[in-house]
Amino acid sequence: MLQVKNLTFGYKKTKVLKSIDFTVETGENLAVIGESGSGKSTLLKLIYGEHDLKQGQIFWKDEEILGPEYNLVVGYDFMKYVSQEFDLMPVTTVAENISKFLSRFYPEESQRRTKELIEVVELEEFANTKVKFLSGGQKQRVAIARALAKQPEILLLDEPFSHIDNFQKQGLRRNVFNYLKNNKITCIVATHDRNDVLGFADQIMVLNDTKIIAKDQPQNLYKNPQLPLIASFFGEFNVIEPYGIVYAHQLQIVEKSNLKAIVNRAYFNGNVWLIEAFYNSEKIFIQHHTELDKDSEIYFSVVS
Ligand code: ADP
Ligand code: MG
């Protein structure tokens, strides 16, 4: 289990994180979300031991994570960290970047393992390509495979799929997160992409204004987002009294109701249209199965 106890940290005088307390069970996937600048990367770096703590403690099992003041070399064997600035060896191949971290004394095992990890990140075609010839997204995938090479107990991922295009993202997410689950690797992933979270995270932790403002299972947070900030992570939403926060798909256009709105625009959104309308001169968003004309009058109801 990872334990973060009463952690307070700032690079300078201003604190980035204040009195942060949480635990992550072994094998669990925790997603850390929050706006840009909310301290997600800082938290991962602290867990990795990149900075000395003046207040608070971090433990993995019984071992306290200590910063550079106590450790000549930052980091621990049981933990790997894929940062937003993945640093790879540019003039060596994808396979070599991964196998470098494996034992030279068991070449067959090392080769088998390298192949397995290349498959997880779907880079078979590029196994023998030098890293400097790869795209940003491909490099990001090498960084993930390399972090997994030595089978860490805990993996810290910072916006792990941010450079990877949509054509490959979803498959890759499934590969990587399933690999972690199957191998009982504890994972903390900092992200602003709901697709990194829904379907994969056991818990979501929301950082805002130096604090943890929510920590719960994805289903619970999604169904009951206590704050607009949380709802905005999951999708288009409205605040409509007396109902509170309601997602665009919770508004349904009906023949007649006492909630009337005027259509302003319709956005094509794949299998649905997102209707932008004015309700009491407030902009609202409604999911609907067809396009609607500007200025048409509609009635809607709220479904839970
Ligand atoms: P996030 O990953 O959520 O976008 P960060 O942890 O990167 O947030 O940043 C949190 C805050 O700390 C920001 O205000 C950022 O400007 C500041 N910060 C991050 N890294 C440093 C640093 N090395 N030195 C000084 N301030 C930093
Ligand atoms: Mg960050």
Please write the tens of the pLDDT for every residue from 242-262.
999 999 999 999 999 999 999
Same domain, 134 and 267: no
pLDDT at 288: 97
Q: Using the structure block, give the residue that is written with the tokens 């993202």.
A: 169
Same domain, 133 and 243: no
Write the CATH number for 280.
2.40.50
pLDDT at 266: 97
Asked whether residue 231 is domain-assigned, the answer is: no
CB 139 within 8 A of CB 131: yes
Element (H, E) at 158: strand 154-158
pLDDT in tens, 145-196: 999 998 999 999 999 999 888 888 889 999 999 999 999 999 999 999 999 9
End-to-end CA distance of the chain: 37
pLDDT at 84: 82
pLDDT at 150: 87
Same domain, 190 and 50: yes
pLDDT at 295: 97
User: What DSSP character marks residue 32?
Assistant: E
Same domain, 203 and 255: no
Work out how many domains the chain is built from and give that number. Answer: 2
Please give the single-letter amino acid code of residue 134. Answer: L
Asked whether residue 229 is domain-assigned, the answer is: no
Same domain, 261 and 210: no
Same domain, 245 and 216: no
Q: Ligand 1 pocket: which residues have CB below 6 Å? A: 11, 16, 34, 36-42
pLDDT at 211: 98
In this prediction, the residues of the chain whose per-residue pLDDT falls under 70 are: none
pLDDT at 50: 95
Reported pTM: 0.93
End residue of a domain, out of 193, 223, 253:
223
Same domain, 250 and 202: no
Scanning the chain, the segments in alpha helix (DSSP H) are 40-48, 94-99, 107-120, 136-148, 166-182, 218-223, 228-234
* Nearest ligand for residue 16 CA: 1
Domain that holds residue 293: 236-302
Residue 85 CA, ligand 1 centroid: distance in Å: 14
Ligand 1 nearest-atom number relative to CA 190: 2
Same domain, 205 and 246: no
Ligand 1 nearest-atom number relative to CA 35: 3
Same domain, 213 and 249: no
- Which residue, judged by its Cα, is nearest atom 5 of ligand 1? 39
Same domain, 7 and 118: yes
